[in-house]
């Protein structure tokens, strides 16, 4: 039996007590991301000034992985440029679909706790929901 070690304290904390799950009145980018087969649904909002993500938030519902992943993503993205954000999105995507270096894992900070998702193919789309929505939004 595989072990779902990704249900750790960091993940459950981000799911139950998210920092970024709220509205964002002065957002200038907004996109809904949905995983129709599981009902995961988020609305991601960003405030981008001179290509820098100065603030971000999300609202929605879904499994612990989809929600916590979106929250950890915003921890990383806020304060970074769009380019830098896309680079991190690429690292995250490679982490849960394949493998990344230890240096890259370090860059993902807490989001790195989702590395083991790669053993559970059905949950990859949950972890990717926030990042996928971010990519679609800024690309």
Tell me which residues touch another protein (CB under 8 A): 1-4, 7, 9, 12-13, 15-16, 37-39, 41, 62-65, 120, 122-123, 126
Closer CB to another protein, residue 25 or residue 37? Answer: 37
Minimum CB separation from another protein for residue 133, in Å? 18
Closer CB to another protein, residue 8 or residue 101? Answer: 8
The CA distance from 85 to 74, in Å, is 10
Minimum CB separation from another protein for residue 38, in Å? 6
**Chain Cα centroid distance, residue 30:** 15
Query: Phi then psi for 99, rounded to 5 degrees?
Result: -145, 150
Closer CB to another protein, residue 39 or residue 79? Answer: 39
Q: What are the CA-CA distances from residue 71 to residues 50, 103, 126 (Å)? A: 23, 22, 13
Minimum CB separation from another protein for residue 61, in Å? 8
Confirm if 72 and 110 have CB atoms less than 8 A apart.
yes
């Amino acid at each position: 039996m595989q072990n779902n070690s990704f249900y750790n304290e960091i993940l459950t904390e981000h799911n139950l007590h998210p920092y970024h799950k709220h509205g964002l009145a002065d957002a200038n980018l907004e996109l809904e991301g949905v995983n129709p087969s599981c009902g995961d649904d988020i609305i991601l909002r960003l405030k981008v000034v001179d290509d820098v993500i100065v603030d971000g938030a999300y609202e929605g519902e879904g499994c612990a992985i989809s929600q916590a992943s979106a929250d950890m993503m915003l921890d990383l993205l806020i304060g970074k440029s769009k380019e830098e954000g896309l680079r991190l999105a690429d690292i995250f995507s490679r982490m849960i679909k394949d493998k990344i270096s230890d240096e890259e894992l370090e860059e993902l900070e807490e989001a790195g706790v989702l590395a083991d998702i790669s053993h559970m193919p059905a949950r990859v789309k949950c972890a990717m929901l926030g990042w996928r929505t971010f990519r679609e939004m800024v690309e």
